[in-house]
Amino acid sequence: MTKLQSYVKETITYKAIYMLLHYLHDFLETFGNISFRFCQVLKYLFSFQINFKQLLEQSSRFAVDSLPITLSIVSMTAIILAMQIAPEMVKQGGKDYIGLLVALTMVREIGVIMSGFAIISMIGSSQASELATMRVTEQIDAMNVLKVSPFQYLFLPRVLAGFIMMPFVVVISSTVGILTGGLTAMFAAKDVTWLCYITSVWQGLYIRDINIMLFKSACFGACISLISSSCGYDASGGAKGVGIATTKAVVWSFVAIVIIDCIFAAAFYV
């Protein structure tokens, strides 16, 4: 029986099933931890137990520190988009719709998604590594001994800062993206003037689109902070554990905002 068990464990089928079950268990455990911590954050939020000093610090870090990289990524994306669509739109006689197409793309998708990716890469990874380091150096254990709730002191300011500041980042980056897209379209295609571009921006861009963008970006910000903090909070195993927790936070955050974006698209644009 022992030899049979050893033989079965060496088969590809057994290894594939074992790996699938392992990843499923890890997914359910991580999702459960994130959901539990979200409930804890809501409890302290609704009881108004907010550390405003930490909130201001995290808000500055979330918005101001991440703004240069966010503007760079969104602007370059808008430039690439305008370079590709402007000449083709002019060929098809649709130069009066270049600004509309760029604006709708930036407001509905690219501005929010690219800003989310930039925030994950810079702020989300930083939050995860920070909490992971606190975990492996037993600082969080010390907070528990001192009867200081990590959910109130660490989680709530970060999640609330993400929820509040992410819309501001997205509005600024999307505006800059639309403007840089217009400048690019003027140089990439003939007969496209600045007045023509700006006028076409408002032809199909409505307040509803902007409101959806703001709400979606707020959800993105809160989700990124919650996932990053939760993955960092579960770190173990020294420096290697910090790296694993940071990688896990980035991967989960990328997947989460894509899923949330899909939900918003299905709810508001289908």
pLDDT tens, residue by residue, 148-181 = 888 888 899 999 999 999 999 999 999 999 999 8
Range of the domain at 160: 51-268
Give the global pTM.
0.88
Quote the CA–CA distance of 217 and 201 in Å, as a whole number: 21
21 within a domain of the structure (yes/no): no
In angstroms, what is the C-alpha Rg of the chain? 23
Q: For residues 113 and 214, is the Cβ–Cβ distance under 8 A?
A: no
Candidates 38, 36, 48; CA nearest to 223 is 38
DSSP state of 155: I
34 within a domain of the structure (yes/no): no
262 within a domain of the structure (yes/no): yes
33 within a domain of the structure (yes/no): no
42 within a domain of the structure (yes/no): no
Average pLDDT over residues 236-245: 86
Ordered alpha helix ranges (H), the chain? 2-9, 12-46, 52-63, 67-91, 98-105, 111-119, 125-136, 139-145, 150, 156-188, 194-201, 207-233, 238-268
166 within a domain of the structure (yes/no): yes
149 within a domain of the structure (yes/no): yes
Count the domains in the chain: 1
118 within a domain of the structure (yes/no): yes
DSSP element (H, E) containing 270: none
Quote the CA–CA distance of 31 and 226 in Å, as a whole number: 11
14 confidence band (pLDDT: 50, 70, 90): low
